[in-house]
Amino acid sequence: MKTLYRGVWIAACLALASGSMASMAQAQSQAQRAPQQQPGDITDHQEQTILETLKANGDFDTLVQVIEDADMSDMLDGRGPYTIFAPTDEAFARLPDSERQALLDGEHQQWLRKVLKYHLLPGTVPASEFKTLGRPQALVGQLSLRVENGQYQVNDVPVDRQEIRAHNGIVHPIEGVLIPWDATGLRPDS
């Protein structure tokens, strides 16, 4: 009798194992047919790079000038993927005169590069991931991403909900210029 129970038990286990292996194989086959975009993947359905997107938009002329002055055009015109929190022309206009001049006068290139890198995250980060990330590491420094009452923010600066996809990343228009904390003495007014 023991042998009969043991035989039935083994047969039942083998039946269950083969059934679960078949469902795993089916799920794997479906995953191979329809790959999903993962964070950090290049969005190849877009034809323009981040820099081309900024130039074509018309709201980022000052940012484009600053990127070119800092010799960072090559970085945003092909490499990536990156997520850029892109200050609009209005955001630059709202800066205090001394800060705007320090960024635009061309004399403080190291500081300018640091400020620009503070606006860049490695990989593609859509707005839908802001809550999940919380405090991501930018290329220089750490940012704070929040969503409160449907309002997206980076370091308490409002982010436009309409992100712009580019071939090598995502552009998030923002209403302010993010200024990193500076312990290096690069900041012109320090």
**What pLDDT is attached to residue 150?**
85
N-terminal to C-terminal alpha carbon distance within the chain: 88
* pLDDT tens figures, 70-129: 999 998 887 789 999 999 999 999 999 988 888 888 777 888 899 999 999 999 999 889
| High-pLDDT (> 70) share of the chain, % | 71
pLDDT at 106: 75
pLDDT at residue number 6: 63
* Residue 139 near residue 117 (C-beta atoms within 8 A): yes
pLDDT of residue 30: 45
- Asked if 172 and 86 count as a contact pair (C-beta separation under 8 A), the reply is yes
Q: pLDDT grade, residue 36 (50/70/90)?
A: very low
| CA 14 to chain CA mean position, Å | 47
Identify the pLDDT of residue 102: 82
DSSP 119: T
- Concatenating the DSSP letter of every residue in 27-90 gives HHHHHHHSPPP-TT---TT--S-HHHHHHHHSS-HHHHHHHHHTT-HHHHTTS--EEEEEE-HH
Give the start-to-end residue ranges of the domains of the chain.
1-36, 50-174
Q: What is the spatial distance between Cα 105 and Cα 94, in angstroms, rounded to a whole number?
A: 16
What fold is seen in the domain 50-174? FAS1 domain (2.30.180)
pLDDT score for 31: 42
pLDDT for 149? 86
Is the pLDDT at 13 greater than 70? The verdict is no
CB 125 within 8 A of CB 136: yes
pLDDT at 17 over 50: yes
